[in-house]
Structure 1
Amino acid sequence: MKLINSKQQFVLSAIVVAVSLGGCASPSSEWDFGNSVRTMVASQKYVPPGQEPPAIPTMDGARAAGAVERNRTAAPAPQRIYEGMGGAEL
């Protein structure tokens, strides 16, 4: 006497596979990636109110292009070595 026929066995195995794969697909883990590290770093820093560091100055594209062009065209400054500097003796 057979307890489960082939159709019921197929349905049961399909349910087991679906439940197994459902445990692997967790969309919430992708959204929270790195939050634990950011939270830990933020908790280790204390900045009193009103004493936040100033913004870091940035360079725009025109200023960077000008600096690169000056480095390409201008003659380099002469190197000077002083006595006792880096072990160089004159």
Structure 2
Amino acid sequence: MTRSNPKTALTLSALVLAVSLGGCASPSSEGDFGNSVRAMIASQKYRPVGEEPPAVPTMDGARAAGSVERQRTAPPAPQRIYQGMGGAEL
């Protein structure tokens, strides 16, 4: 019987490992990640061709600053409590 060379055994083991792990590799699907969810949501919404949803109103900085200032300086408006609301009976 002949003794095998340790270098040959190591090379053969590395080759077998590389070939067996090659079968586990699959193409990446990260480019398609979320497409099924987006397609499902789109299929649940009906919009005729050419009809887009209305634009969401936005607030500029000056208007926001004025709103905050009014909240700070204006006295709070009196609140009305109705019967049966939150257990308060007046």
- TM-score computed with the length of structure 2 as normaliser: 0.62
User: What is the aligned-residue identity percentage?
Assistant: 63
Q: Which has the higher helix share?
A: 1
The RMSD of aligned alpha carbons is 3.2
Partner of 1:75: 75
Unaligned 5+ segments in structure 1 are none
Aligned length: 87
Greater Rg over alpha carbons, structure:
2
Structure 1 stretches of 4+ with a deviation exceeding 6 A read: none
CA 1:2–1:42: 2 relative to 1, 3 Å:
farther
Unaligned 5+ segments in structure 2 are none
* 1:31-46 alignment, distance < 5 Å: 31-46=31-46
Q: Does 1:6 find its partner at 2:20? A: no
CA 1:19–1:42: 2 relative to 1, 3 Å:
farther
